[in-house]
Amino acid sequence: MGRFEPAVQVLGLLAGITGVLAERLTSARERRHLTLTSVGIELRSCDSVLADRQFTPSAGEPPRRRVYRRLPTSAVGAALASSALADQSDQELLGLLHRWRDAADGFNRRLDLTELRMFLTDKPDEVRKFDQILHDNADRLRRQLIELQHSLPAGKKPSTPDESPNGTQPQPP
């Protein structure tokens, strides 16, 4: 029995090391999946903000002063700060996420300034000009958002927990 003990101990150590490595790989894969899911949910939220009536030109209606909805950027910021997308294959996606976050933050700052200026001006023409510039910026952001959404793995947005993988709502049993 004594002569097999070193071999048993070596096999036990190898099994332990293999288990640790497998657990780390599984954890990294799960962290990446959760990060991509939260980014996908946030991007859909951005999509709904940009699709709102306030960011589309209204035919016949004069522009009016208003407070605009902001684009959320917390999930993208968290994805960039974490190491969940540190794989070499994610480098292009990371670049797109950086550009999106910068564009969305810039858009939100411009909304702050636009609201301030629109509420302080007495000239209706100035409100119309600001409104048009805002719509042009929203159009540019929509195109950038579509590009980012198509760059997510498999060219689709990750599904939310209440959706099935093909994007349809699950049917009750």
Q: Are 70 and 49 in contact (CB under 8 A)?
A: yes
Series of mean pLDDT values for 10-residue runs along the chain (173 residues): 82 90 86 91 94 77 82 92 81 91 95 88 82 88 93 58 46 43
Give the list of residues 6+ apart from residue 33 with CB closer than 8 angstroms, or none. 158
Q: Determine, yes or no, domain membership for 173.
A: no
Instruction: Give pLDDT, residue 112.
Output: 92
Distance, in Å, from the CA atom of 49 to the CA atom of 54, rounded to the nearest integer, reads 9
- The three-class DSSP label of residue 18 is helix
Q: Determine, yes or no, domain membership for 164.
A: no
Q: Determine, yes or no, domain membership for 136.
A: yes
Q: Determine, yes or no, domain membership for 140.
A: yes
- State the CB neighbour count (10 A cutoff) for residue 146: 12
Characterize 3-31 residue by residue with b for buried, 16 or more Cβ atoms within 10 angstroms of its Cβ, and e for exposed: eeeeeeeeeeeeeeeeeeeeeeeeeeeee
- Tell me the torsion sign for CA atoms 113, 118, 124, 130: positive
Give the list of residues 6+ apart from residue 144 with CB closer than 8 angstroms, or none. 99, 100, 103
Q: How many domains would you assign to the chain?
A: 1
Q: Determine, yes or no, domain membership for 171.
A: no
Domain that holds residue 135: 5-52+63-155
Q: Determine, yes or no, domain membership for 150.
A: yes
Tokens of 103: 């564009």
Q: Determine, yes or no, domain membership for 111.
A: yes
Give the list of residues 6+ apart from residue 169 with CB closer than 8 angstroms, or none. 162, 163
Q: What is the pTM of this model?
A: 0.74
Q: Determine, yes or no, domain membership for 132.
A: yes
Instruction: Give pLDDT, residue 133.
Output: 87
Instruction: Give pLDDT, residue 163.
Output: 46
